[in-house]
Structure 1
C-alpha cells in the first residue's frame, strides 16, 4: 500500500504538483505524517479490502496466460471459410458460374429491338454485390425457364434447385448478404420468382428430365408367367394398380411409360420398381 496514491496519480498522468495550489481537503491531517492506510480509513475505506485484489498496474497481471493472443481478422476469416465443406463450396461456385454464363449469353444476344419498354430491367447483372431484391426477383423468374446445360438440354428439376441454392450461398458466404433467401415463402420480395419456379419444376418432372433410364435385366420365363398370371387375376384392377404404384388420376394411368419401371433383385428376391413423375 506504500505510496499507492502517488503511484495511482502518476499512472493516470496527474502530477502531485497540481495539488499545491488547491485547498487541503483534510485540514486535520498532516499528509507528510499520515500513511496511506490512515488516509483511506479517514474517507471511509478499509485498507483490508485491497489485500485480496491484484495490483491493477502490475504487468504480470496482464501477462499471466489467462487469455489467448490477439487474433487477426484474416485468421478469423480463414476459420469461417474452413467450416464450409469443399463440396458445398464447389456447388456454390457452380451455381454462380451457371448464372454468369447465362447472363453473358443473354446480354450478348439482346438487341435494341428486343427491349420491352414495360420491362423494369434490361441487363442481367453478374456482379451481385449491389443487386437489389427486386432485380433478382425479375431475372430469376426468367432464369429458371431459360437455363440449359452445356449441350443445350434442360437441367433436371433437382439441378435447377441446386443452382438456386448455390446462388443464395454466394450472397451469404461470399458477399456477406444475409438478407437474401429466394425460397422463403414469407419473403414477398421473391414471390414472382417462386410462382415461376413452381410450374417450371412441374414441366421438367412431367417431361421426365433427369429420370433414371437404365437397361433393365431381361425377364425370365418365370417372370413373364408370374406377371401374366397377376395381370389376369381378379385382384388386378384400376384400384389395385393405383394403390400399388401410388398413381393419382387418369392422367398418370394414360401416361405410363416403360422407362418408369425397373427390374432388379435383392435379398428378398426379384422385384419391379416403379418411378413416378408428378
Structure 2
C-alpha cells in the first residue's frame, strides 16, 4: 500500500524508538517511593511532638484546677449558685458555649486558690488564664480567650484579680528564679567528687554540666536532642580571626524555637566555647 493510499506523506527519521515497559507488566520491579502508611495513632504522636511537653503539662494543670473549682461549686448551696448557668458548673471546659465559659471564668478567676487555700500570685493567675486559652487553641476550638469580645468579662475579672494580688504583695516579683551557680559552689562540686573523671557516672555528670555551662543549653531537653554523628549541633574546632580555637554550638530546636512554621524565620542561637591554653 502506497503512502498516498494511506492518506498522508511518508515520514522518515533517524531517531531510535525504544519500546518502554509499563510498570504493571512486571510487578516485581516496582519499588515504593514514599514512606509506609501511618496509622491514626502514629500520626497523632508526630503531631503531638509540635507541642512542648511543658506546655501540655501547664495546660493540663490549668484545666484540672478549673474542673476542681466546678466540683466544689456544685457542692455549694442552691443560694450560692443561684442564677448561675448549669453548663458553667457542669460541662467540660472545652465543650462549653461562649456565654457559659465567660460566666464560669469570671467567677473562677476570683475564687481560684492553691491546694492549701492560699491565693495564687498575680503572675500565676495570668499563667492560669493563658494556659486555658492555649488548651482551647490546641484542641481546635474557635474561641480566643485573649481577643474575643465574648470573653471581655473574663479578662476584666483577671485584670481585677491581678491588681488585687499585686496590692497584697503577690505581684510578679514573688516569682522564683533559678540562681546561678557561683564559682565557690562549682569548686565544692569538684572537691566533693560530684564532678570529675574517676568513674563513668562521674564523667557523664561532668560532661552534662560543662556542656550546659559553656554552650548555654536550657534544661534537659536540649541535652537529649544533641547528636554526635549525623548533623551534630556542636562542631569544631575552628579558629577565629585572632587565632583562637573554639567549638561552636548551633541550635536547631529548643523551647523557644521548635522548628515549626512560626519559627522558620527565627535566628538560631549560636554559642562559642573557646579552648583554654
TM-score by length of 2: 0.50
* Alpha-carbon offset, residue 125 of structure 1: 3.0
Q: Is the 8 A contact 1:125 1:131 kept in 2?
A: no
Aligned counterparts, 1:45-84, within 5 A: 55=22, 57-58=24-25, 60=27, 63-84=30-51
Mark the CA change 1:151 to 1:63 in structure 2 (over 3 Å): closer, same or farther.
Answer: same
* Alpha-carbon offset, residue 59 of structure 1: 5.5
Mapped partners of 1:154, 1:178: distance in 2? 30
Mapped partners of 1:54, 1:169: distance in 2? 55
Mapped partners of 2:61, 2:164: distance in 1? 23
Mapped partners of 2:19, 2:81: distance in 1? 79
Mark the CA change 1:98 to 1:62 in structure 2 (over 3 Å): closer, same or farther.
Answer: farther
Deviations 1:99-127 (A, max 9, x none): 11111111112x2233434x444751352
Give the equivalent residue in structure 2 for 1:169: 134
When Rg is computed on C-alpha atoms for both structures, the one with the higher figure is 1
* Alpha-carbon offset, residue 165 of structure 1: 2.1
Mark the CA change 1:59 to 1:177 in structure 2 (over 3 Å): closer, same or farther.
Answer: farther
* Alpha-carbon offset, residue 205 of structure 1: 1.3
1:190 aligns with 2:151: yes
Mapped partners of 1:98, 1:139: distance in 2? 13
Give the equivalent residue in structure 1 for 2:98: 133
Mapped partners of 1:213, 1:137: distance in 2? 28
* Alpha-carbon offset, residue 192 of structure 1: 1.5
Mapped partners of 1:76, 1:89: distance in 2? 18
Deviations 1:30-68 (A, max 9, x none): xxxxxxxx9xx9xxxxxx9x9687626346499323222
Give the equivalent residue in structure 1 for 2:112: 147
Q: Is the 8 A contact 2:106 2:157 kept in 1?
A: yes
Give the equivalent residue in structure 2 for 1:112: 78
Mark the CA change 1:129 to 1:194 in structure 2 (over 3 Å): closer, same or farther.
Answer: closer
Mapped partners of 2:174, 2:80: distance in 1? 38
Mapped partners of 2:98, 2:28: distance in 1? 52
Mapped partners of 2:60, 2:108: distance in 1? 17
Mapped partners of 2:159, 2:88: distance in 1? 24
Mapped partners of 2:92, 2:29: distance in 1? 47
Mapped partners of 1:62, 1:101: distance in 2? 61
* Alpha-carbon offset, residue 153 of structure 1: 1.4
Mark the CA change 1:58 to 1:83 in structure 2 (over 3 Å): closer, same or farther.
Answer: farther
Give the equivalent residue in structure 2 for 1:199: 160
Mapped partners of 1:166, 1:59: distance in 2? 57
| Structure 2: runs of 5+ lacking an equivalent | 1-5, 9-14, 177-277
Q: Is the 8 A contact 1:107 1:123 kept in 2?
A: no
Mark the CA change 1:170 to 1:61 in structure 2 (over 3 Å): closer, same or farther.
Answer: farther
TM-score by length of 1: 0.50
Give the aligned length.
Answer: 162
Mark the CA change 1:178 to 1:115 in structure 2 (over 3 Å): closer, same or farther.
Answer: closer
Aligned Cα RMSD in Å?
3.2
Mapped partners of 1:166, 1:213: distance in 2? 17
Give the equivalent residue in structure 2 for 1:258: none
